[in-house]
Amino acid sequence: MNVVVFKHSGNLGDVIYALPSIKKFCELNNVVAGLLLVVDAPMWLPDHLTHPSGNVMITDEGAKLLKPLLLAQEYIKNVTFHKYNSDAPHLFDVDLDRFRVIDKLNLAMGSIARYYQPILGFAPDLEFPWLSVEPKVHSDIVVARSSRYRNPNINYKFLSGKSVAFLGVPDEFDDFIKSVPDAKYMRFDDFYELACYVAGASLFIGNQTFIYSIAEALKINRILEPCLYAGNVIPSGGNNFEAFTQGSFEEAVESNFGVRVNAVSNIKIRDSIAAYQEWLAGFKVYKSHGRLIDQFLSSQKPFKSFVVFVFEYGRGRAAVEATIYSLKSQLLEPDDIYVFSEEYIGLPGVKEVNSQSIIAGISSAVRSLSDACWIYFASAGDTFESYALLQFKIKQFENKGAALIYSDEDVQLSTGSFYPALFPEFNIDWMRSRPYLVESFAIKKEVLVACFPDELFGCFFSLDLIFRVFEVYGSANIHRIPLVLRHALDPFRVKINVESNNREVLAAIIERHLSRSGIRAKLVRQQSSYRLLYDRDFSPIVSIIIPTKDQLEYLSRCVDSLISLTNYKRYEIIIVDNGSVTVECKKYLSGLCSLGVGFIKVINHPGEFNFSKMNNLAATQASGDYLLLLNNDTEIIDPDWLDAMLNHACRNEVGIVGAKLLFPDGTLQHAGVFLGLRGVADHPYIGMQPASSLMERDCIDQVLSAVTAACMMIRKEIYLEVGGFDEESLKVSFNDVDLCLKIKKLGYLIVWTPFAQLIHVGSVSQNSIESEKSAEKLIRYRSEQSVMYSRWLPLLADDPAFNPGLSRDGNGVELEDNKLLHWRPVGNRKRPFVLAHPSDFFGCGNYRVIKPLEAMESSLMVEAAISSEFFNPIDLQRVCPDIIVMQRRTDSNDIQRVLEYKKYSRSFKVLDLDDYVINLPLKSHHREVMPKDVLKSVRTILSNVDRFIVSTEELANFCSNWHNDIRIVRNLLPVTWWATLDSSINENKKIRIGWAGGVGHTGDLELIKDVIKHYSQKVEWVFLGFCPASLAPFVSEYHPGVSIETYPAKLASLRLDIAIAPLEENAFNSCKSNLKLLEYGACGFAVVCSDFGPYKDKNFPVLRVKNKYKDWCDALNTLIEDADARRKLGGALKAYVADHYMLGGDELRRWVSAWTEGA
C-alpha cells in the first residue's frame, strides 16, 4: 500500500483527535498513513501560564511516548519526528496544522476532532473507536484531571473509599489526593500502556486532557468534566456522559455506570456530613466585613431591640447552656436573653422566667419589653450560625412592614448526619397539610400581642401563633431568610407531624385556624400529613379539553380511561384535532362524533401546531364553568382525580390547580413547576420515586408559582379574563407557565395537589416532529424563551416556592454551590455592586480587573463579584449587579451573551481592553489564532456597552471612533504582590542580564538576537517564561512560566543586574502599557529598553535606546562596567514605581470612578 504522510505539531490530544480523519482518509483512498510529528513547536499561552510540556506543543519525549500507541494502529505505517524551525526538507503530503489558520474556525468551541474537515473535505466517523489496545485492569475508576481545564462546579471528594487510580503528572496527582486521599498513582512506560489501563477501567473520568482523548478514542465508559470556557471537547458515540454540575456528576457515576458513591450535593442522601458542612462553611461572615456591619447598624433609625426567648422544654441545663453560648457568640448579640422553664436553673447573664404555663410566662416577659422590639423564639439545644441574628436584623430593617421572619435550618439525625430543611416563602396550603414552620422565628412585639396564642397547645403554642399572624397580617408580611441559620436539636415540626400523640394537637390547631378564617373543610389524616377536603355546595360542569393529532394509541387510552374510571360525571370532553391524517385516528374521531352524546365533541383545527390557539379555541366553545386542560398522552388511574382537582379549584382564592403526573414506570413526571429551573422553568424531581422529593413535597398540597398544562384546571371566567394562552408569542412552549404567572399576578393562588394522580408519557406530540424541522423548532423555542425573560425575569429568578439554596441546574434537590447567586453577608447594599468578567485568572485579568476590584472592595468602595463565565439571564437577575465589567471580549462567541446582558439587565456595562488586538505583530504567535473578524466583533460588543476603558492614551487614540465614552485607566501594581519584594543584589562575579515574558514577544527578542549572542560569554543571560529555540544556546538560565501569584517573587529572585525590555516598533506595541517597566522597577532592576511607545515616558529612570545593535551594546556596556550606576538606576526606578504606580489611594479612586461614574 502507498503511504501518505500527515504532518502535525500537536498538542498530544490534538494528534489523537486527528486520527479518525486520518483513518477515514486511509479507508477512502486505500492507503496507510505515516505521521510526521513536529516537536518543540511553541505553545500559544499567556505570559504567566505554564504547561506540563514546558510550553511547547509536543516535546521530543512526548512524541517518543506516543509513538508505540500510534504504531499499534493498523492504519498507521510509520511515525517520524521533525524539529520545529529546523532546516529539514518538505517531508509530508498533508499539512494538518492548517486548521490553526482557517478563517472563522473558533478553536475554543466545536469538536477538536472536526477541525480537519475543511482540510480533508469530509467529516470523520466519531461514533466508533479509532484506537485499539489490549485492556489492562488496574482499578474500577481511572481519573485524569489536569490543572488547566477544570470545571469549578465539580468536586471529586465523593469518590473517597472507592477503587480509584490517577493518571497524569505528579503535581496533578498531589492535588487530586487532597480530595481523594486513598487514590493510587498509575505509572506507565509509554502511552500505549497508559491506553491499556484506560481501556481496562470500569469507568474513566477526566477533564479536557490528553488522556481523555484516549478514552474518547477507545469509546469506553467515560465521564467528561467539561471546561466552561473552552468547550472544544465534545463526546460522541456511546458510553459517554458530560457532567456540568455536581449533582449530574454524581448521578452519572452512580446511575449510568453502576458505581455507588457517597453524594456530595444531593441533600436527600443523608450520609455526607463533611460535604454538607463544607457547603455551609461557604456562608461565613469574616472579620473583614466588620466595618460593613458597623455601617449597617449605625444606619438603623430608630434602633429596634432584639430579644431572644429560650424555652427549656425539659431538655435540661446543658441544652440551655449550649443555646446561650451560641447566642452570646453571635456577631450581633441579642439585647436580652430570657430563659423559660418550670424550675429555676440559675444561669448567669440571662433573665429567667419560671412558670408552669408557657403562655403565662411569655405574657409576663412581654410586658417588660419596649414596644420597639423584636423577639426570637428558640428551643433549648438549638445552636446558630454566628451571623444568624445579624441576618434577622438585616431582614427586619429591609422589610419595615414585616410581622414575622423565619429562616432555613438543619437537624442532626440519630445517625450523626445532617438533614437540611430549605423552606419556601410562606406557603399556606403546605402549612395546613404538614406544617414546616413550627418554632424558631422572630416576631414583632406588637404582632405577638395582637395574635397572642392559645393556652391549650402547650409547647406547640408557636404554631398556633403563626397561623394567627397569617390570619391578621397575611402571607405578604411573613418573610423568609433563605439561609440555614438554626441547627435544631429536636425540631417540633418533626415531632408534631410524625409522632402520633401530637397529631391530635396539630389537628386541633389547624381546625381552629380554619374556623377563625371562616373556611369549612374536613381534615383527613394521612400517613404523616393532613388533607383538607373543602366543603363544596355545588357541582360545576367541567370542560375537559384535549388537543391532539394522530397518535391514536395515546388518545384512545386517554379518552377511554377518562370515561370508564372518572367518578365525577358532570363533565364534557372537547377534542381539538390538529389535522390528523392517519386513517385509524380519523375513523376514531368520526366515531366519537357519531355517538350522538352531548358530552363529547370534536373541533377541527388544521394547520401548524399551536397548542395555545387550540386550547383558546376550545375554551370559547366550552359550556363548563371550569376548564380542565389535558394532554392526549395522559391516562386516568384514580377514579377521584377530578374531585381532587375541584376540591381546590372551587376555592375563591385559587386560580389554577395542577395534578401529580407519573411516568408509565411509576416515577415522578410532574410535581409542579419551579421557575428558573434548568432554564425558564421546569419540573423538579423528574424520574425520582414518589415520596423521595425534598421534604416529601410531592406528597402534600401546596401553593406553587406554576404547574403544567398537561393536566390543569382553571375557572373559565379567569381564563378568559387574562386572554387565555398567548397564541401569538407562546405557541408551544412556556404558555402554561405564562398563564399561571398572569393569574398569580391577579392575586390568585396556584395550587398543586398529589391527590389527583395520572399517568403522563410526556412531550409525545413534540417528540414526533420530523427531524428536518428541528432547526425551526429550536428557533421557535429560543424566541419563546426570550418572551418569558422579557415578561417575567424577576419572578423566574426568585420563585417564592423554591429555595435559592438549591441548584437551578439540577433536579430540585441539589445544593447550590455558587454562593454568589444567593449570599451577601451584609444586606441593604449601599455601595455600587460590580460584577466582573476577567479575560483570564493568570495574566492581564489580574492587573486590569481582579486585583483592582479586590482593592476597591477592601476599601469599602464597591461590593464585588468575579466570574469567569457569563451568566444566563436568570442568574444575572439573581446576582443583580449595578455595574458589569467585561475584559477583552473580542470573540464572536461573546457577542450573544453581551446582547443578552444588554437586553435583560439595566446594569451599567463596561468593556476593558488593554491591547490593540485588531493588529497583532506579524511575528506574534497569537496572530494566527486571532479571529479575522475581530474588529467587527469588538465594534458590535462596544455598541452594547456604556463605557470603553483602555490602558494607554495611544490605545485610546487608535480606538477614538469606536465609542463615545472612552476612559483611560493605566496599569498599576497590586501592593500585596509588588510592594515588599526582596531586591538583594547579585553577588556572583558575572553580570546577570535578564528578560521575562511570553511567546507573544518573539518579534521583540529577534531585535536583539545578535546582542544576546555577543554578550553570551561575558554575562549570564537569564530568561523567565519563554525562550526561543534560536536563543537557547546563548541563555545561561531558563525558568519556565509560573503562576501569576508567584510571578513577582520569582522575578525578583532572579537577582538581575540589568533587565532588558526590547520592543518592536509597530502599532500594537505603540498601544501597549509600560507594565514591563513597572515590574522590573518593583524588583529594583536597572533597565535598558527600546526608546519607543510606552517606554518613552521621560519620568522613568531607565536607559532608552534605538533598536539598533550598536545602541543596545553601548547602553549595556555602560551599565556592565559601572555597578554604582546600576544600583542608582535600579533604586531610582523602584522609588518612582512605588510612588506613582501602586494600586491604592488616588490611583484606585480614579479606577473606581472610571467604572462607576454615571452608573
Is pLDDT at 406 greater than 50 in this prediction?
Answer: yes
Query: Are 747 and 606 within one domain?
Result: yes
What percent of the chain shows pLDDT beyond 90? Answer: 57
| Model pLDDT, residue 232 | 64
pLDDT greater than 90 at residue 833? yes
689 DSSP 8-state letter: P
Please give the Cα distance from 919 to 1159 (Å, whole number).
31
pLDDT for residue 770 = 42
Count the domains in the chain. Answer: 6
Asked which of 797, 831, 848 is the last residue of a domain, the reply is 797
Residues 486 and 368 in one domain: yes
Q: Which three cell numbers stand for residue 257?
A: 455506570
Element (H, E) at 82: strand 76-83
In a domain, 814, yes or no: no
Cα(961)–Cα(326) distance, integer angstroms: 61
Rounded mean pLDDT of 355-370?
92
- Between 546 and 869, the higher pLDDT residue: 546
Q: What is the pLDDT of residue 416?
A: 58
- Say what the pLDDT of residue 972 is: 96
Both 161 and 252 in one domain: the answer is yes
More reliable by pLDDT, 138 or 657: 657
- Cis bond before residue 664 (omega within 30° of 0): no
Percent of the chain predicted with pLDDT > 70: 89
Q: Which of 161, 409, 147 is closest to 263 using CA atoms?
A: 161
Note the pTM of the prediction, 2 decimals: 0.75
pLDDT in tens, 555-595: 999 999 999 999 999 999 999 999 999 999 999 998 888 77
**Residues in contact with 980: Cβ distance below 8 Å, sequence separation at least 6, in sequence order:** none
Whether 17 and 164 share a structural domain: no
Contacts of 113 (CB under 8 A, 6+ apart): 17, 18, 20, 21, 124, 126, 216, 234, 236
Does 616 share its domain with 493?
Answer: no
Which DSSP helix (H) or strand (E) runs through 747? none
**475 and 567 assigned to the same domain:** no
Residue 463: what residue type? L
Indicate whether 690 belongs to any domain.
yes
Examine residue 272 and state whether it is found in any structural domain, yes or no: no
- State the pLDDT at residue 694: 83
What is the rounded distance in angstroms from the CA atom of residue 512 to the CA atom of residue 506? 10
What pLDDT score was predicted for residue 1042? Answer: 84
Q: Tens of pLDDT along 730-756? A: 999 999 999 999 999 999 999 999 999
Ramachandran quadrant class, 1064 (left: phi over 0; alpha: psi -120 to 50; beta: rest): beta
Asked if 964 and 983 sit in the same domain, the reply is: no
**881 domain residue, yes or no:** yes
CB 378 within 8 A of CB 440: yes
Is residue 672 domain-shared with residue 787, that is, in the same domain? yes
Backbone dihedral region of 239: left (phi > 0), alpha (psi from -120 to 50 degrees) or beta? left
> Is 632 contained in some domain?
yes
| Lowest mean per-residue pLDDT among 127-136, 268-277, 1030-1039, 1058-1067 | 268-277
Considering the domain architecture, whether residues 945 and 872 belong to the same structural domain is answered as: yes
pLDDT at 227: 66
pLDDT of residue 989: 79
pLDDT winner (highest mean) among 131-140, 141-150, 648-657: 648-657
Residues 328 and 455 in one domain: yes
pLDDT for 1159 beyond 80: no
Angle at 316 between CA 311 and CA 322, to 5 degrees: 75
Whole-number pLDDT of residue 765? 47
For residue 273, being part of any structural domain is answered with no
Last residue within a domain, chosen from 936, 968, 1000: 968
Range(s) of the domain holding residue 158: 141-265
What's the CATH number where 907 sits? Answer: 3.40.50.2300
Instruction: Count CB-CB contacts under 10 A for residue 542.
Output: 24
* Residue 537 included in any domain: no
Kindly indicate the confidence band of residue 1109, based on its pLDDT and cuts at 50, 70 and 90: very high
Q: What is the CATH classification number for the domain harbouring 198? A: 3.40.50.2000
Which of the residue ranges 285-294, 479-488, 842-851 has the most confident prediction, judged by mean pLDDT? Answer: 479-488
* Boundary-marking domain end, from 85, 120, 155: 120
Is the pLDDT reported for residue 414 higher than 80? no
Beta strands in 971-1117 (DSSP E): 992-996, 1020-1025, 1037-1040, 1058-1061, 1086-1090, 1103-1105
Give the model's confidence band at 491: pLDDT under 50 very low, under 70 low, under 90 confident, else very high: confident
Pairing relationship of beta strands 1103-1105 and 1086-1090 according to DSSP bridges: parallel
Residues 400 and 481 in one domain: yes
End-to-end Cα separation, the chain, in angstroms: 70
Instruction: Locate 675 and state its grid cell.
Output: 421557575
In order of 118, 386, 397, 481, the CA distances from 828 in angstroms are 55, 19, 8, 14
Please check whether residues 982 and 963 belong to one and the same domain: no
Q: Indicate if the pLDDT at residue 58 is higher than 80.
A: yes
Banded pLDDT at 264 (limits 50, 70, 90): very low
Q: Is the dihedral of CA 777, 778, 783, 789 positive or negative?
A: positive
Distance CA 822, CA 807 (A): 10
502-534 pLDDT, tens digit per residue, is 888 899 999 999 999 999 999 999 888 899 999
Report the pLDDT value the prediction gives residue 261, as an integer from 0 to 100.
35
Instruction: Say how far apart CA 45 and CA 926 lie, in whole Å.
Output: 9
Bridge partner list, 576: 547, 603
CATH label of the domain that carries residue 605: 3.90.550.10
pLDDT at 48: 41
Within-domain flag for 802: no
Averaged pLDDT of the chain = 87
